[in-house]
Structure 1
Amino acid sequence: MSIENKTIEKPLSFGLSKIASWQLDFDNSNVELPALQRSFVWKVNQVESLWDSILRGFPIGSLLLSKSEDEKYFLLDGQQRATSITFGFYDPWNIDESEKGKFWSLKNVPTIWIDIAPKEKTATQKFVFRVVTQSHPWGYQRINHNSILSVADRRNALNIFRENPENKKGGYIQISPLNTFPYDADLPIPFSFLVKSILDNDKSWKANLVAMCKEKLPTEYIKTKHNHFNEKSYLDQLQEVIDSADFLNNIFCAVKNLVQVEIPTIVVKKEILKAEDEQTGEDPTLFVRLNSSGTRIAGEELIYSIYKASFPEAKQLVENIGASFIAPSQVISLVSRLALSEINEGSYPYPLSVNDFRKRIQDDKFKSKLHELIGGNAKDIFSKAFNLLVSENEFEIPIVLVKTLVKGSPELFLMLLQWIKQNTKEITADEKRKVLATITALSWFGRDNTKYVREVWNSISKNNFWSKEVLSIPYLNKKDFIMYPMIKPSSLRSYLLQSVVTENVHWDNLYPSANSEIVKIYNSILSNEIEQETEIANSTKGIWDNFINKLFWCKPLVLFAQRKYINDSFGDFNQMENLEDTNTPWDWDHIYPASWVYAKWYINPNTKHWTNAIGNFRALSLEENRSENNSLSPKDRLVNVKEQSFIKENDWEFWSRISGRINEGENEMIKNHLSAIVNRLCNIYEEWYSTLNVGELFSYEKQNS
């Protein structure tokens, strides 16, 4: 008597090209992602390593599918591998423009190249794959392939790209992937060309490969870090390598064998997914349990997955709400809390855990309100919030900075959404300024924004919500001082110039005296709450430490100060791409070179420490960043880019005097260095403070002094 297996179907296996077709031939595919899948999260080096494993014949694990209601398949486990496999077959030179956006969870698809004549490789690689992405069109380092290229290498690569007339215009992230190539390589070719030539053209594969490269690639402009193709052209070297016995015995055979590679696939019956409600514990889905050894899924992502499973038809609505500003998973998290507040008579909605959400989604009242918001005015609420934060034609906040605020301070964004939801009047220019002042001040200087929002939540409906009277509630009436007055720029500058520049007070001892203006301001919010003198001293020190440490490292303030430059140079940059990429299209450049203080003897402690302050940082494009030449003085670095670098006369006066590395004992030069950095730090702070009139909401000083 046989026992029927009610959960597992007969195992299947799929070839690599078939797996690639699930996304490359999206409209005809019978495999799709279920609602409870997540985004593509692998790093570039993981993609390169996977393909090295495949060519070497290493097993890469099995996939897991389930039958769907319409007899198609859902991919439950293996999306990262399946998508990485697809990259190897993806040929952007031969794909219709309308097909480019049909990958499961990527808008900007990377291109895989292979170096067919590498003189160096990592200790673990046999085949040197090179992945190029939108923000790294030159690829990554070859030996340390999880590291980005140096500034010098990136600039050299960009200069080579610019030699191609088609790459002359716009920032480098606008350069077409058809005109880029990996820089840290010897003889790179698109891997899809190699696969297509060898697998589709038995005897004429060499001629076909050379013809494809000649027709599709900008071969006359290809130069790499290790090969400028001066003695022999790119095509001549390509022909020479593919004619060699070494190539035939290694790369050719490995690619030829790809047709024999089958990925084993387990298929579970659809009934197993219907048992989801019976699951309990921290990870309440089959998908999460399967991926527990992989890149772990976050709570918000899982909540979004559960939502999509409950309302599959609303997936597009959610993605439209967030646009490119915010991940769909965060949209659901925020809208869920708005719904929760509404059904609980406007009370503060605590963050929902995965299990909380699973329970709530079973409640008809919550489920109905959530669905109503998603299908109704949530899109308008989010759109108003985004537009307010960007403040186009007014404060012109860079989109990348808005995204950072939303992603890094979701509690503050929730507060803004609730205010917009309740406020039916036209938002005035003055209210916009106050909103920006509040959100940025709390995001950059707040001590506990979750607690802060909880304290003011019930006041959101007040007409004077964006006022000092309301916004100061958390630090006037509570002893934990989760927010505090923002020091007036002139008071800050006066104190830092005296203490740091004149007296050379070291960072660890940098604390205003009891009779200073700064401490007097802090005392004004403490005296009514704390009676003991020692308590007051400890509290003022805690407030100052929090403020000065956050200011010292606050790079978003630099972006605010340089916002015109960021908008003009990088207006098209979208940081919502799902393929994990490492950084922005600008470099964070030290004006006084970091290499002049790191691991160096006889350096004044303040010179070393203040070199890391935001006063010494600027955002700068590759075209303008000359930091690879550390012999350049700050004067030479800044002389032609003062406006872009947010350099004012009161700091330029001192930058222009610095001609080289400053050693201990060079007291006048030490003062020039500290004066330049302290003044620029205060200028950056003042630009934000004055532009948004922060003092109106977060200062107890007289603003006309």
Structure 2
Amino acid sequence: MKYFQYSDCETKNYFIFTLRQVGSWSGNVEDNAPGNRIKARVPSFQRGLVWEPQQIELLWDSIFRGFPIGSIVIIDRIKEQHDKSNPTHAKSEQTQESEVDTSHHILDGQQRCNAIAWGFVDPWKDGISNDVVLWLDLIPKSLLKNTTRKYLFRVATKAHPWGFHNGDEASILKVEQRKEFMGKVDNFKENFKKYDCEKLSYKFKEKYLSQNFNERPLPSLALPYYAEFPVPVFLLFRHFKEGKLDWDALAQEEWISFVESWAKEANKISDISKGEREIVESGLRKAEQCRLIALLVSNEGIENSIDNIEQIFQRLNGQGTPLDNEELIYSMIKAYWPEIEEIMNKLAKKPITDVRLVNLGIRIALTEESDQKIESQLTVDQIRKIFSKNPDKDIKDLEKRERIEKYFGSGELEKALIWIDESFLYEEKSRTYGLPAYLRSSIAWSSREVFAWLMLLAKRYQYISMSCEDKNTRRIIGLALVVHWFGIDKEKAINRLINESDLSSIKIADMNKNSDKRLVLVPLNITDLNEAFQLDENSSPEQLINWSSFWQGVVVRNKDGKEKKTDEQNESIGLFIEKLRQQQELLVYAQREYLEDAFKGFDPSNKLMWKGHNRPWDYDHILASEKLNGTGKGKREQLKFHEICKAWQQSIGNQVAVDFSFNRAAQDIDPIEKYKSVKIKGYNLKERGFDVFASDDELESFKLNLSDLQSKNDPLNPARSFVLANKKRLIKIYQEWYDNLQID
């Protein structure tokens, strides 16, 4: 089909592009279309990537089926704006690109354009991001049964190299499926040299074997879990000419040899039937014929008014994927002050995304030394007043902008982040009690008030790092985690701390005084916690039978299993224990030595890594839940102690944070062997703190199963033994945090 001549519509308010032309805007795709003088890029005030994997996959399914894919909105290049870094470029290439060839800026449709670009990008090309690969399964077979798709496009990301579920929702895979995938990675690596890989270049083999196979593989070095014969989409376009796919040329690509080797001869490109080939070629023809309409915003009257452009952007984006308030504020700031993005790009280490950091930084910049509380997050209207170039701006707004620009421009934000890391992060030889990097970032994600407090402390300490011996160092970490894990009104709790001159002497219970409601749940000391559970070796059958949940066992019933009167203090203890029993981050703190050593490359600032509560380790149950499953109504009456065992089976006392490689190796191994003899990365797990919270004898109690609870087998002793061993381990995990950080 003849390419559209742009000169034909110079006086009109729209342009029409091929998909390849849209892909060429990324700078990684060649486009030889005659008359192509348009280079549209994203202005710096645009938000980051927000499209979900299923949106990318379904967009390409629509393209291959000839469905309309909507339009985008562009404007002549905005002189006051820089170009946003391109998502297809590797991070090492994310310098400020030359903007001379940028002719237009994209006001609406950034995500659609990015999704299109991934279909033309070679993930093996130097300088290309390895965060995303777009595949097409050429032999989807039964995988398309429970979906509206005709084509099974597969998105794999750095966080999810195994891809996503094959349904329309593209949900994340289950833990068991991820383990299976990683097992295949291990097996493929071990047999790599045995496979018929003569078509693979030395560079390909070297890159594959140089991976750290204890971590996730790059998405370009493993095939999606739900796919029979996936091929990178850019390869299909490379060999599609004049309406036909050159299958012979495609078969010679080293990618194909890699796919065939991964499948262990289960599928070969020669196995693709004539009908399946026709379906692929039909989709490619429709993709080649697909056109994207770009509506052109007239510059008349708005070229020199960033206020109007910002308003247009907000209204356009209000119709698509909604921006949360932080994203909206950051976009507005970049519209009026584009240099902020360059400042953020230069930050060496980021515990969270730029969006969150900028919003926190603004609040700290506007908090005075004498203020009794941290400045609240600004509204959209307040940001517009502060950053707009209105000549009649209020003097107070001018002062606020100056303070914000000074805070960021002078490097105070970066100094604050460095201060937090140098003062509080775990160090193997010095600050052994410190925070694992994961917890530092979790605070920033889930408890922004707490992280803002740490940033304010950095400012008040004049960015001079706290020593390990400073009595306040442990105290600040402990207080931060108390509010993070057990805070009810975190903002008010933090504002109470701001007014304390001596943090080492503050009592956590005092934070609730003179307040009409509880601000934090007060951590119990070890003695009180042990007593609160009301469980010991003398616990009667009646008590254990009625201990159907933590709330029942702690709040509702006494040590005899009978109902008791509850009071405010007892309920407060119950609420605290409810939080405690499922606080998996206590495991992260207790196992900080192992996790910090095993996952040094984990990037907590990448929000994709957190999608679906994702992280590079798993929370493994010592006693698996299936060991206690399978009860019917008839059996349940015979299993008198089943409920208490199920309740404790789900607690952190029965969990360990372990990497996927351990979890794969440890399947079907009894608890003692699981934590005594399995070796990962050359060291014995027993030596790395896995069983420091349970002796071999105690681990014996975790070998419980349903038959042990049958009434004919005297179930009291195994049930009580499991519960007490679990309780003891939970308390030791808690004590590791409580004592190290001097919570009391």
Q: TM-score, normalised by structure 1?
A: 0.82
Is the 2:45–2:338 contact (alpha carbons within 8 Å) kept by the matching residues of 1? Answer: no
Q: How does 1:217-296 map to 2 (within 5 A)?
A: 218-219=258-259, 221-223=261-263, 228-229=264-265, 237-241=268-272, 244-270=273-299, 271=301, 277=307, 285-296=311-322
CA distance in 2, matches of 1:58, 1:203: 21
Is 1:577 aligned with 2:598?
Answer: no
Q: 2:46 aligns with which of 18, 37, 43?
A: 37
Segment of structure 1 superposing worse, 152-161 or 307-316? 152-161
Residue 557 (structure 1) shift? 0.7
Is the 1:455–1:473 contact (alpha carbons within 8 Å) kept by the matching residues of 2? Answer: no
Segment of structure 1 superposing worse, 44-53 or 632-641? 632-641
Is the 1:31–1:74 contact (alpha carbons within 8 Å) kept by the matching residues of 2? Answer: yes
What is residue 661 of structure 2 aligned with on the other side? 623
Q: 1:325 aligns with which of 351, 354, 359?
A: 351
CA distance in 1, matches of 2:599, 2:517: 40
- Identical-pair percentage: 25
CA 1:12–1:290 in 2, change beyond 3 Å: closer, same or farther?
A: same
CA distance in 1, matches of 2:318, 2:215: 35
Is 1:157 aligned with 2:171?
Answer: no
Q: 1:590 aligns with which of 595, 605, 621?
A: 621
CA 1:593–1:627 in 2, change beyond 3 Å: closer, same or farther?
A: farther
CA distance in 1, matches of 2:483, 2:507: 14
CA distance in 2, matches of 1:338, 1:312: 20
Residue 171 (structure 1) shift? 4.2
Is 1:170 aligned with 2:194?
Answer: no
What is residue 554 of structure 1 aligned with on the other side? 583
Q: 1:46 aligns with which of 55, 59, 69?
A: 55
Q: 2:647 aligns with which of 609, 629, 633?
A: 609
Segment of structure 1 superposing worse, 389-398 or 338-347? 338-347
What is residue 161 of structure 2 aligned with on the other side? 137
Q: 1:148 aligns with which of 160, 173, 194?
A: 173
Q: 2:511 aligns with which of 474, 479, 484?
A: 474
Amino acid paired to 1:117: I
Residue 219 (structure 1) shift? 4.8
Residue 508 (structure 1) shift? 2.9
Can you list the C-alpha shifts for 1:639-670, whole angstroms capped at 9, x where unaligned?
Answer: 43445563236454233244452335422221
Is the 2:53–2:155 contact (alpha carbons within 8 Å) kept by the matching residues of 1? Answer: yes
Segment of structure 1 superposing worse, 181-190 or 576-585? 576-585
Q: How does 1:180-219 map to 2 (within 5 A)?
A: 180-199=222-241, 205-213=246-254, 218-219=258-259
Is the 2:306–2:336 contact (alpha carbons within 8 Å) kept by the matching residues of 1? Answer: no
Is there any run of 5+ residues in structure 1 with no aligned partner, and where?
Answer: 1-7, 102-107, 517-533, 696-705
What is residue 519 of structure 1 aligned with on the other side? none
Is 1:305 aligned with 2:331?
Answer: yes
Instruction: Specify the SS of the correspondent of 2:368.
Output: helix
Instruction: Specify the SS of the correspondent of 2:506.
Output: helix
What is residue 637 of structure 1 aligned with on the other side? 674
Is 1:369 aligned with 2:403?
Answer: yes
Is the 1:437–1:694 contact (alpha carbons within 8 Å) kept by the matching residues of 2? Answer: yes
Residue 679 (structure 1) shift? 1.5
CA 1:411–1:258 in 2, change beyond 3 Å: closer, same or farther?
A: same
Q: 2:23 aligns with which of 20, 23, 26?
A: 20
Amino acid paired to 1:402: R
Residue 206 (structure 1) shift? 2.2
CA distance in 1, matches of 2:741, 2:530: 19
Residue 112 (structure 1) shift? 1.3
Is 1:119 aligned with 2:141?
Answer: yes
Instruction: Specify the SS of the correspondent of 1:146.
Output: coil
Segment of structure 1 superposing worse, 601-610 or 145-154? 145-154
State how many pairs are aligned: 638
Amino acid paired to 1:623: S
Residue 365 (structure 1) shift? 0.5
Q: 2:699 aligns with which of 652, 655, 665?
A: 655
Is there any run of 5+ residues in structure 2 with no aligned partner, and where?
Answer: 1-10, 31-36, 80-101, 194-207, 389-396, 560-564, 678-684
Amino acid paired to 1:562: Q
Can you list the C-alpha shifts for 1:175-224, whole angstroms capped at 9, x where unaligned?
Answer: 3444222233222222211111114x87782232111136x75356412x
CA distance in 2, matches of 1:498, 1:651: 19
What is residue 692 of structure 1 aligned with on the other side? 741
CA distance in 1, matches of 2:78, 2:317: 23
CA distance in 1, matches of 2:302, 2:584: 49
Instruction: Specify the SS of the correspondent of 1:566.
Output: helix
Residue 380 (structure 1) shift? 0.9
CA 1:417–1:579 in 2, change beyond 3 Å: closer, same or farther?
A: closer
Is the 1:653–1:676 contact (alpha carbons within 8 Å) kept by the matching residues of 2? Answer: no
What is residue 65 of structure 1 aligned with on the other side? 74
CA distance in 1, matches of 2:698, 2:423: 38
Residue 350 (structure 1) shift? 2.1
Can you list the C-alpha shifts for 1:546-575, whole angstroms capped at 9, x where unaligned?
Answer: 311110111111111111221222111113
Is 1:82 aligned with 2:113?
Answer: yes
CA 1:336–1:304 in 2, change beyond 3 Å: closer, same or farther?
A: same
Instruction: Specify the SS of the correspondent of 1:625.
Output: helix
Segment of structure 1 superposing worse, 298-307 or 108-117? 108-117
Q: How does 1:382-393 map to 2 (within 5 A)?
A: 382-393=417-428
Segment of structure 1 superposing worse, 368-377 or 153-162? 153-162
Amino acid paired to 1:289: R
CA 1:44–1:253 in 2, change beyond 3 Å: closer, same or farther?
A: same
Amino acid paired to 1:577: N
CA 1:251–1:500 in 2, change beyond 3 Å: closer, same or farther?
A: farther
CA distance in 1, matches of 2:141, 2:557: 65
What is residue 4 of structure 1 aligned with on the other side? none
Instruction: Specify the SS of the correspondent of 2:212.
Output: coil
Instruction: Specify the SS of the correspondent of 1:89.
Output: coil
What is residue 467 of structure 2 aligned with on the other side? 428
CA 1:260–1:444 in 2, change beyond 3 Å: closer, same or farther?
A: same
Amino acid paired to 1:100: I
What is residue 89 of structure 2 aligned with on the other side? none
CA distance in 2, matches of 1:357, 1:625: 48
Q: 2:487 aligns with which of 446, 449, 465?
A: 446
Q: TM-score, normalised by structure 2?
A: 0.78
Is the 1:51–1:129 contact (alpha carbons within 8 Å) kept by the matching residues of 2? Answer: yes
Q: CA RMSD in A?
A: 3.2
Instruction: Specify the SS of the correspondent of 1:576.
Output: coil
Is the 1:52–1:126 contact (alpha carbons within 8 Å) kept by the matching residues of 2? Answer: yes
Is the 1:9–1:266 contact (alpha carbons within 8 Å) kept by the matching residues of 2? Answer: no
Segment of structure 1 superposing worse, 267-276 or 40-49? 267-276
Residue 591 (structure 1) shift? 1.5
What is residue 104 of structure 1 aligned with on the other side? none
CA distance in 2, matches of 1:565, 1:85: 41
What is residue 393 of structure 2 aligned with on the other side? none
Can you list the C-alpha shifts for 1:425-476, whole angstroms capped at 9, x where unaligned?
Answer: 55222332222111112111122110112233334xx3x2x22337654234
CA distance in 2, matches of 1:501, 1:350: 52
CA 1:320–1:386 in 2, change beyond 3 Å: closer, same or farther?
A: farther
What is residue 100 of structure 1 aligned with on the other side? 128
